[in-house]
Structure 1
Amino acid sequence: MNRVLTSAIVFGAGMAVYNLAQKNNLMSGRQRKKIQKRITKALF
């Protein structure tokens, strides 16, 4: 239960940062894909 809650919080924070970075174009497409992979790996 605790693990699910933690991963949900981490996922939410990750998505917020990801959306911000996308709006500001802070990272290239390659970096974005790398981070997406890392987030999914962290979750599953």
Structure 2
Amino acid sequence: MNRAMTSLLALGLGVAAYQLAQRNDWLNNRSMKKMRRRLAKAIR
């Protein structure tokens, strides 16, 4: 798999996990920021 495909996949997974977590109210703000930073790093 090439890089663009991999980052798209990671982004899709991140969005799905984010929505799931929001629906289940798992995340507080602190872990949310951490996840967003990790996603930003994964996309680059």
Normalising by structure 2, we get a TM-score of 0.88
Higher RCO (C-alpha under 8 Å, 6+ residues apart): 2
Identity over aligned residues, as a percent?
A: 43
Q: Report if aligned partners of 2:7, 2:43 keep a CA contact under 8 Å in 1.
A: yes
CA RMSD of aligned residues (A): 1.3
User: Which whole-Å deviations, capped at 9, do the CAs of 1:9-30 have from their partners, x for residues lacking one?
Assistant: 1110111001110111111111
Normalising by structure 1, we get a TM-score of 0.88
